[in-house]
């Protein structure tokens, strides 16, 4: 049997499952993400109400007539719209533009009818089915078009592109005719997570969403890359107009490229209470100065039209992120070569040195400059942290101020280090630390290597610290246990850290079990 996977025809054996289709087609898909299944192409197209006629002068949007008596003509249009591609404007007058001809099985009548501005008519020129045209009405007028005896030949209305219509002349050409996919076109689809669901002949399967980023918003695009680092994202809010992805809410970015939020647009809120939120639009919206444009959806709007709140969606970008942090210098060299990028090694330039900084910082700028500086350190100088799961607010705070929310490697600055004290503290951010409630406060003892942060019950909220020996009285920041939140433990680089001095920059990364 034949099915379509992300728009491509794939042949499967009868009884094949979604899992089979993904494996055979090698379709992008991340575990536990939603999938879209549409019953069949014919069923899908039955619910498309708008089409775009693209010409060398611009586009014209047609909306199919909802009238019952016009549905036979609408069906004929849906079955034949692709035949109008590559055809020239056959004629144009002050009242009409004609495109064609194509062949149909329609039978004409010779009656004269009155037509309104914006009507779209199926006409059999010369009363011949072999010379079927569509007529685009510029003005109210009366004419004999040899139409079929169905609704005066009218099957649609012009709802966009009237300027293009009036600019067309007989030498112009139709380059494409495309359905306009709207959310209401997807009503016969289903959201599925079970990979063992069986497919049927003609099913359409959608597994992922691909975004094409703009080059005009490098910070916002990098923010989006951080959001989809694992190849997927969770839908935190869903409405008819847009989807909200809020995992990185709270991270402010500069104002960048502002543009209309058309269907498929991806934006980042750059200011206000919702700063850091990412939105994907299902419907057109005007531009807003608080929304930077990240890019547009190139593949998978059908999937976005059916997802619900709490669903996970497979999300990728093309081009992808150029992120060298946490790679070795040697790995980075091979990685950037595939993009035609020149690597310039700095710091520790050994092949096995770990990269902790790159310049330019953002993918879009690296692609533009065609070169990147990679600053390396020895692996022994990189501090690895294993975070606890029961301190969400405090862990978020640490990741935000260290940069671990955006990048695989972050940094913190030593604020206090005194030989023999067996404790070290790092600079925090009192503004970001507001609202740090008690989370996982110590009970009997703070262990060597445990990473603690002062909570809001004490004056120095947000201070970060670590102890190099067990202590059963005070936390890593010198506060009593009830003023200390333990967010995890340092499992790599503790010996190196103990020898750091005040003012030193310490590079950190998360160790996941």
DSSP labels, 433-490: TTT----S--SS-BPTTEEEEE-TTSSSTT-EEEESS-BSSB-TTSSBGGGEEEEEEE
Tens digit of each residue's pLDDT (9 = 90 or more) over 233-243:
999 999 989 99
Confirm if 220 and 255 have CB atoms less than 8 A apart: no
Task: Go through the chain and tell me how many residues it has.
Answer: 513
Is the same domain home to 309 and 456? no
**Measured distance between the N- and C-terminal CA atoms of the chain, rounded to whole angstroms:** 43
In which domain, by residue range, is 347 found? 329-377
Asked, for residue 411, whether it belongs to a domain, the answer is: yes
CA distance 17 to 1: 12
Q: Domain boundary residue among 191, 206, 221?
A: 206
Is the same domain home to 216 and 239? yes
Is the same domain home to 216 and 294? yes
What is the Cα 347 distance to its own chain's centre? 35
CA distance 473 to 465: 15
Which own/partner pairs from 40-46 qualify as long-range (CB within 8 Å, at least 24 positions apart)? 40/200, 40/201, 40/202, 40/203, 40/204, 41/4, 41/202, 41/204, 42/202, 43/188, 44/185, 44/186, 44/188, 44/189, 44/204, 45/78, 45/179, 46/78, 46/188
Residue with tokens 């499992």: 491
* Percent of the chain whose predicted confidence (pLDDT) is above 70: 97
CATH code for the domain of 57: 2.40.100.10
Tens digit of each residue's pLDDT (9 = 90 or more) over 35-71:
988 876 555 666 788 999 999 999 999 999 999 999 9
**pTM of the predicted model, to two decimals?**
0.76
Q: Domain boundary residue among 271, 291, 317?
A: 317
Asked, for residue 323, whether it belongs to a domain, the answer is: no
Residues contacting residue 492 through CB under 8 Å, at least 6 positions apart: 382, 383, 384, 511
Residue 44: the pLDDT is: 62
Confirm if 316 and 228 have CB atoms less than 8 A apart: yes
Our count of domains for the chain comes to 5
Is the same domain home to 11 and 79? no
Asked, for residue 42, whether it belongs to a domain, the answer is: yes
The three-class DSSP label of residue 83 is helix
Asked, for residue 345, whether it belongs to a domain, the answer is: yes
Among the listed residues 489, 497, 485, 484, the one whose alpha carbon sits nearest the alpha carbon of residue 513: 489
Residues contacting residue 31 through CB under 8 Å, at least 6 positions apart: none
Positions in the chain short of pLDDT 70: 40-46, 182-190
Enclosing H/E stretch for 498: helix 494-498
Among the listed residues 404, 394, 402, the one whose alpha carbon sits nearest the alpha carbon of residue 435: 394
Residue 186: the pLDDT is: 53
Is the same domain home to 151 and 78? yes
Asked, for residue 278, whether it belongs to a domain, the answer is: yes
Q: Give 69's DSSP letter.
A: G
What are phi and psi for residue 346, nearest 5 degrees?
-140, 170
Asked, for residue 324, whether it belongs to a domain, the answer is: no
Is the same domain home to 479 and 411? yes
Pairing of strands 278-281, 265-269: antiparallel
Is the same domain home to 172 and 265? no
Is the same domain home to 257 and 268? yes
Is the same domain home to 257 and 173? no
Asked, for residue 413, whether it belongs to a domain, the answer is: yes
Asked, for residue 322, whether it belongs to a domain, the answer is: no
Is the same domain home to 60 and 175? yes
Is the same domain home to 26 and 92? no
CA distance 199 to 14: 8
Confirm if 497 and 466 have CB atoms less than 8 A apart: yes
Is the same domain home to 449 and 493? yes
């Amino acid at each position: 049997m034949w099915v379509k996977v992300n728009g491509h025809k794939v042949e499967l054996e009868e009884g094949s499952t979604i899992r089979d289709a993904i494996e055979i087609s090698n379709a992008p898909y991340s575990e536990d993400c939603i999938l879209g299944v549409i019953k069949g192409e014919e069923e899908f197209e039955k619910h498309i109400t708008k089409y775009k006629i693209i010409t060398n002068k611009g586009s014209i949007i047609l909306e199919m007539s909802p009238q019952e008596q016009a549905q036979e003509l609408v069906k004929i249009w849906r079955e034949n719209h692709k035949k109008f591609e590559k055809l020239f404007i056959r004629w144009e007058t002050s009242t009409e533009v004609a495109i064609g001809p194509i062949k149909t099985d329609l039978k004409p009548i010779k009656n004269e009818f009155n037509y309104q501005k914006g009507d779209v008519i199926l006409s059999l020129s010369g009363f011949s089915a072999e010379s079927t045209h569509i007529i685009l009405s510029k003005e109210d007028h009366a004419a004999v078009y040899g139409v079929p005896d169905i609704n005066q030949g009218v099957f649609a209305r012009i709802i966009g592109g009237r300027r293009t219509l009036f600019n067309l002349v007989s030498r112009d050409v139709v380059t494409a005719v495309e359905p306009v996919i709207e959310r209401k076109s997807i009503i016969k689809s289903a959201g599925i997570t079970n990979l063992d669901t069986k497919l049927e002949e003609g099913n359409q399967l959608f597994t992922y969403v691909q975004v094409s980023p703009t080059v005009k918003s490098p910070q916002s695009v990098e923010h989006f890359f951080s959001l989809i680092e694992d190849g997927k994202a969770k839908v935190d809010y869903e409405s008819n107009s847009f989807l909200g992805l809020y995992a990185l809410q709270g991270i402010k970015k500069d104002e960048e490229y502002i543009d209309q939020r058309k269907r498929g647009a991806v934006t980042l809120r750059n200011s206000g209470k919702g700063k850091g939120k990412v939105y994907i639009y299902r419907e057109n919206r005007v531009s807003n100065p608080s929304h930077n444009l990240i890019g547009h959806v190139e593949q998978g709007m059908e999937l976005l039209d059916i997802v619900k709140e709490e669903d996970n969606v497979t999300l990728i970008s093309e081009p992808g992120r150029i992120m060298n942090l946490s790679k070795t210098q040697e790995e980075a060299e091979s990685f950037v070569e595939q993009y035609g990028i020149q690597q310039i090694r700095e710091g520790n330039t050994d092949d096995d040195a770990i990269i902790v900084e790159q310049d330019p910082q953002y993918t879009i700028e690296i692609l533009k400059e065609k070169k990147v500086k990679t600053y390396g350190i020895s692996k022994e100088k990189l501090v690895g942290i294993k975070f606890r799961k029961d301190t969400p607010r405090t862990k978020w705070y640490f990741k935000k101020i260290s940069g671990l929310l955006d990048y695989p490697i972050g940094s913190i600055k030593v604020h206090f280090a005194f030989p023999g004290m067996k404790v070290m503290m790092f600079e925090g951010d009192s503004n970001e630390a507001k609202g740090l409630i008690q989370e996982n406060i110590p009970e009997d003892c703070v262990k060597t290597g445990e990473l603690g942060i002062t909570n809001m019950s004490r004056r120095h909220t947000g201070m970060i610290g670590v102890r190099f020996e067990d202590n059963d009285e005070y936390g890593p920041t010198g506060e009593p246990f009830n003023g200390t939140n333990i967010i995890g433990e340092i499992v790599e680089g503790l010996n190196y850290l103990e020898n750091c001095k005040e003012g030193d920059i310490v590079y950190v990364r998360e160790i996941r079990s």
